[in-house]
Amino acid sequence: MAIQLVFALLSVCGIAGIVQQCDAWILSRNKATVRYSSWVFFTTELKIGPQQLGEFEVLAVDENFKVSRKVALLDYSSPQSSPIPFHIAWDWQKQLLDRHVKRMMSTTKDNSESSQFLLSPREEEEVHGVDTVFMLEHDAVYTLGTGSDEKYILGINEMVPVVRMDRGGEVTYHGPGQLTVYPILDLRGYRQDIHWYMRALEEAILLALAKVGISRAERQEDVTGVWVDNCKVAACGVKVKRWVTMHGLAVNVEDSSLRNFQGIVPCGLDGRSVGCINQFIDEPITVATFATYMKEALEEVFEIQLIPIEDNLQ
């Protein structure tokens, strides 16, 4: 059976406004069987279509295997942490992606692939990358995809820098008061389905919002992200290379997160509103508080344990 390399490109747009790109080895023209660790995954046709294609399904992970699913957590969402410039976090993601690729190309003594999961809290990751989740706030920045139209930058706030990056979609905003989460995950340990992954990120957001008392949050047809009372409070989008994810999700938490959306037409969607968590709850919370609920939700959805570690990124 011939091996064929398929490059799939899917664009999404929202607060995170990030390109989805996947290059994956598959067997035959449209089906694949991939054996990884103790699991066997079966993927069907790699469909690229409407943003809402696919549904979230709970992962069926054996309880005995679940304890070994430790994922590194780099948490910069605490009050003691400063907002991180966008280009720095982007460089960190690229470094971790490169480490995953190195891991895939190396083997252990028994000729098996090194684990994508964290073996110990102090494990060095210079050579062998493991699944990692970043949580942070950014300095204020507008980001453009490779084909974004600059007409959606309204020029109201010329103090906010503009960065063109490797994603699809139109202009979006990141800044203080917004929790941004970047999971760098090898999807072979979860499900090799980009659409499932997008829905899983949305599911984690919905769970986290429910934990802070927002039960009416929802998905909307034909658009990614999570909405409350027809206001978009969160969005997600990913870039995937060799089944390793980059970018992730962003949730507007504090009122300050909305300050600079007035300078753009978010995602080029005229007439659509953005909102933040604190508009819909009685007692305002901070980004750091919401990050604790987001951590719990990610652990539930992806059947993992997030282990705080010290980073060795440059």
Residue with tokens 């969160």: 234
User: Which candidate in 13, 236, 267, 276 is catalytic?
Assistant: 267
C-beta separation of 120 from 130 below 8 A: no
Count other Cβ atoms within 10 Å, centred on residue 25: 12
Question: Does the annotation mark 267 as catalytic?
Answer: yes
Q: Is 17 left (phi over 0), alpha (psi -120 to 50) or beta?
A: left
Buried-state track 95-112, b at ≥16 Cβ within 10 A, e below 16: bbbebbeebbeeeeeeee
Query: Beta 172-174 vs 162-164: how paired, if at all?
Result: unpaired
Contact 59, 190 (CB under 8 A): yes
- β-bridge pairing 162-164 and 141-144: parallel
Catalytic residue numbers?
267
